[in-house]
Each structure stands twice: as C-alpha cells, then as structure tokens.
Amino acid sequence: MHSISSVAIVGGTHGNELTGIHLVNNLANDNYSLPDSLDYRFLIANPDAVATNTRFIDVDLNRQFALDNLTYQEHSLYELNLAQIINRKIGPKDNPHTDLVIDIHNTTSNMGPTLIVLESSDFYRNMSGYLKQQMPSCNILVEDEVSYLEHPYLCTCGKYGVMLELGAQPQGVSRADVYAQSVEMVQHILKFVELHNQQETPEFKGFEAYRLLDVVQFPLSKEEKLLGLIHPALQDQDFKPLKPGQPMFSLFDGSTVEYEGEGTVYPHFINEAAYKASAVAFATADKFIW
C-alpha cells in the first residue's frame, strides 16, 4: 500500500454547513499544528453557496463527481462547472494527484462525530480502527454498496477519500462543541496517516462499525403530501437499534407507523433537513464488527 504525501482538507461543499468552513480557514491560517511530513491543500469548495449561506446554488455539489459529469463541457448549472474545476485542482478522479481528501460536513441529525468511508479496504479499516481507538465517541459508517469510483462525492477525487459528518448542528449555525470534534477527528486522521507512512499502524481488535443498507421515505399521500413526522421515540436516536414493531412515524391522523423489517437496523441521518426535499426520513445500517 503506497504512502500518503498529499492531503486536501475541504470545507464548504455545502455552503450552510459551517464547521468545515471554520476549520479549513483556521488550518489555512496556521492556527493548528499539522504533521510537517505532508503536503496540504485547503479548499472552500463552494464559495458562492458559502457567501449566501445556502446548501448549494443550483444543484448539490457533493453529488456531481460521477465520472460522466467530469468530462469537460460547459454547463448552465453552477455546481456542475464547479465540480469540473475542483476535479482539475485535486483530481482528476480517474488518476488523482491528491492522495487523501478529507471532506468535512455537518448534519442536522444526532449522529455525533461520524467517519464515512467508501471502501472496506485495509487502509480504511486501519484508519477507522485508529480513530475509534483514539476517539471512542466516533461512529464509523461504511458505504461500500458501489465501488469507490462509482460514488458521486467530492472526496472521490483523491486516491483515498473520506467524509466527516458532525451533528446535530442546524444549517447555517456554528456550535463550539461540534467544531472541537472536527478538530479532534482531523488531527487523529492525520496522525494515522503519519503512522501509516512509517509502517507503524497499530494492530486493532474488532471494533463496531455500521454498513449502509437503505433509505426510508416519509409516508406520503398520492398527491405526495407529507402524512406524518418522525415518531418521538425514534427522533435523535441515530445509530440506536430499531427493531420490528417499534414506531417510526407519527401520522397526522393520530396513528403510528411501525418498522416492519425482518431484523434490527440502525437508523442514521434521522430527520436530516437537507433530505426533506426528497422525502427521505432516514437511512438504515447494519452493525458489524470490523
């Protein structure tokens, strides 16, 4: 496994997720000590969305990095053009000159500090194990339902790429405790990279992680009007077990919709504000020992 020499740390992929914006600006201003064996690039990904404190201008930037979108051509949509510019800066995705991309996000759901990895290779397992060892409150979420290059996320412009999700934090708002978690996560990840390069990565026993399963939609009428809300018993219970027969939704008519799956799942991104437009109530995961 090759060593990591270049690292891009990205904030502002969504312009109303402020933690990464603060952190990238502080890192760029040398407000934190970083391992000096690495070359860094600090990037505010979507400056126009940051300036207007909105998630995006035209379309979600973090869904525009599919390989087909990165073939050069002029687009009328701001984020499609921006994705191509970013890909040229830190990619290109099909042959990257950046070894590791760390993309920092906030979520309005109660996920706490969460590391999202897009492959289950030894590199990501070792990074996850080291982070979990150093920061036990961190959740590890594996989204390997498709191959790394098939994901449309900004972080896939690097040879390796991860996303940090930190919450709960409202859109357009900053929280000092959430910001402190982001600083700690990035510092641990960079320390892991140092150990990886020195071939001194410690051995890890199995640790708890979660693997993405599916998404669950809000109940809608035939006219696609919302019929209910997340049930109070499920609200804020990210990465807690949801068992068959337990409540999921509290409908406006006073009834309850229960989970009818065959086994226990672990919801996350519960009531994420950014997903309301697509009527996504939460995602589910399986818990496993990695």
For the segment 151-189, what is each residue's pLDDT rounded down to a tens digit?
A: 999 999 999 999 999 999 999 999 999 999 999 999 999
CA nearest 282: which of 262, 252, 257?
A: 257
3-state secondary structure 151-193: CCCHHHHCCEEEEEEEECCCCCCCCHHHHHHHHHHHHHHHHHH
Q: Do 66 and 150 fall into the same domain?
A: yes
pLDDT, tens only, 131-147: 999 999 999 999 999 99
**CATH label of the domain that carries residue 252:** 2.20.25.160
Q: Do 235 and 157 fall into the same domain?
A: no
Q: Is residue 209 part of a domain?
A: no
The domain total for the chain is: 2
Q: Do 23 and 157 fall into the same domain?
A: yes
User: Domain span at residue 252?
Assistant: 214-285
pTM of the model: 0.96
* DSSP 3-state of 261: coil
Q: pLDDT at residue 61 above 90? A: yes
Q: Do 252 and 112 fall into the same domain?
A: no
Q: Is residue 87 part of a domain?
A: yes
Q: Is residue 290 part of a domain?
A: no
Structure tokens at 269: 């991104």
Q: Do 219 and 170 fall into the same domain?
A: no
Q: pLDDT at residue 87 above 80? A: yes
**CATH label of the domain that carries residue 84:** 3.40.630.10
Q: Do 192 and 225 fall into the same domain?
A: no
Count of C-beta atoms within a 10 Å radius of residue 28: 15
Q: Is residue 276 part of a domain?
A: yes
Q: pLDDT at residue 1 above 70? A: no
Looking from the CA of 220 toward its CB, the CA atoms found within 13 Å total 13
- Cβ 101 vs Cβ 125: under 8 Å: no
Q: Is residue 48 part of a domain?
A: yes
Q: Do 109 and 147 fall into the same domain?
A: yes
pLDDT band at 88 (very low <50, low <70, confident <90, very high): very high
Q: Do 157 and 265 fall into the same domain?
A: no
Q: Is residue 223 part of a domain?
A: yes
Burial of 279 (0-12, 13-18, 19+ CB in 10 A): middle
Q: Do 191 and 227 fall into the same domain?
A: no
- Per-residue pLDDT, averaged over 27-47, amounts to 94
Q: Is residue 203 part of a domain?
A: no
Q: pLDDT at residue 73 above 80? A: no
pLDDT of residue 104: 98
Q: Do 44 and 142 fall into the same domain?
A: yes
Query: Catalytic residue numbers?
Result: 165
CA nearest 14: which of 65, 53, 42, 64?
A: 53
Q: Where are the beta strands (DSSP E) in the chain?
A: 6-11, 39-44, 100-106, 112-117, 139-142, 160-167, 208-217, 228-230, 247-251, 256-258, 280-289
